[in-house]
Amino acid sequence: MRLTPIAAAAALAILAAPSARPAPATPAAAVDVRRCGAKGDGKADDAPAFLAAIARATAQKVPVTVPMGIYRLGKPLVLGSVALCGPPGGAWNADIDSMPVLEPSHRDKPCVTMGAGAGLKGLCIRYKWQAEPTSGPAAVLVTGIGAYISGVKIMYPWDGIMTDGVNNVGRLHIENVFMVSPRNVGVRVTGTWDVPSLRNVEVWNAGPVPRGLDKGIGFDLGKNDLIRLTDCFAFAMQTGFLLRDKIPGCKIEGGTWGTMANCATDYCGYGLVVEGDNTVSVSGGTFWNHAEGLVVQGSTARVRISAAEFRSNGAPAVKVLSADHVALSGCSILRPMKEHKPPTVLLEGGRTILSGNRIDGWGVGIAVNGPATLTATGNDLEAHDFALLEDRHTVGGSVRTDIPAKEARP
């Protein structure tokens, strides 16, 4: 059968119709908080827009993006398996505000709570207090495994980044974070089953309100399995790094097993404090403090340190009260202030091994008291007319050194 021209055209139209239909809409690569109603003017409450964007992005399995602006938040944000991100390439700048800013106006809960698989990147969280606070929430609370925090700046929080102390938050990864003047704790990590890491995290207690060194912890570490700290730094906190197996308010208890590389403190009260059942290996780094650079107190604590510097002003640079063992090799152990006379190394319990260190201070070089055990070989000691060794160990302790007897005193 031959078709007329009109019929042929109709048939061609029918055949062509399927290809003429519009292609299905491509899912968005991200959800922009501005498209959900956020103003970013620092005045309007943008929390509803953020919550809507988070819900939409979670359903679509895409990130939430935050353009430049100041976003006041009257409610907390909760992230599940979704990332909240600033502009591409965004990273903290210590002295320049060049990131989108989240300003929580609420004080009852964290600004951001991160569940399993949540991400936070390229954003600044900034608190404005009407008066100097005496308590407050964490800026960021981590409650689930696999959370990722990168390129974040946190300004003037009560607590900075905290794990909840209840849930397993294993494989937590925190990197390139700059924190300004936390009132209580900079970073607390506990409850990590399997290899969390902290890299290039700085905690600075500097302004806007002058504070002494009677409070504040830079890094508070509890129960962690093979935690790795690299290039982390604390300035002007009471304690730079604290390892302890019982943290007040945390249900999870137990010691840390992990490593520290090229970490440092400056102008802190205490540098590295190890309490309880902890096993830590430290390589490199400098710990400059007003009081002790290293304090170990835990009958089962195991601390191994190489090529680090411990420098103290008015207290022993190294103090061991109890330990399974503490081993320092190739370290600088210094107490340079002449007006103070404590020993450079003070041992009152546990086993301590000193090998190939430079020990230099204005006071007794190494003082051994009580049931402390010391093995010291190949060290370069300078005590500036004080005794290199003061041996007053009691039952349970022992001293084995290559220090000449004439340089020691009982």
Task: Judge whether 399 lies within some domain.
Answer: no
pLDDT digits (tens, 9 = 90+) for 261-271: 999 999 999 99
pLDDT score of 110: 98
- Return the CA Rg of the chain: 28
- Tell whether 68 is covered by a domain: yes
Residue with tokens 């992005």: 57
What does the pLDDT look like over 12-49, one tens digit per residue? 343 444 444 444 444 569 999 999 999 999 999 999 99
> Is residue 214 a part of any domain in this protein?
yes
Number of domains in the chain: 1
The CA dihedral of 133, 135, 138, 144, to the nearest 10 degrees, is 180
Condensed to tens digits (0 to 9), the pLDDT of residues 345-367 reads 999 999 999 999 999 999 999 99
- 3-state class (DSSP) for residue 351: strand
Predicted confidence band of residue 211 (pLDDT cuts 50, 70, 90): low
**In-domain check, residue 33:** no
Q: How many CA atoms lie within 13 A of 310 on its CB side?
A: 32
**Coil, helix or strand at residue 19:** helix
Domain housing 167: 48-234
Which CATH number is 208's domain given? Answer: 2.160.20.10
Does some domain include residue 391? no
Is 43 within a domain?
no
Dihedral (CA of 43, 47, 53, 56) sign: negative
* DSSP secondary structure letters along 37-49: T---EEEEE-HHH
pLDDT value of position 404: 87
Residue 174 lies in a domain: yes
For residue 95, give the DSSP letter: T
Both tokens assigned to 168: 């397993």
**Residue pair 349/393 in contact by the 8 Å Cβ criterion:** no
114-160 pLDDT, tens digit per residue, is 999 999 999 999 999 888 888 999 999 999 999 999 999 999 999 99
Instruction: Read off the pTM.
Output: 0.92
Contact indicator for 186, 157 with CB cutoff of 8 Å: no
Q: Which residues contact 59 (CB under 8 A, 6 or more apart)?
A: none
Determine the Cα–Cα distance for residues 93 and 334; give it in Å rounded to an integer. Answer: 33
Encode 271-288: b = buried (16+ Cβ within 10 Å), e = exposed: bbbbbbbbbbebbbbbbb
Q: In which region does residue 37 sit, left (phi positive, over 0), alpha (psi from -120 to 50) or beta (all else)? A: left
In a domain, 329, yes or no: no
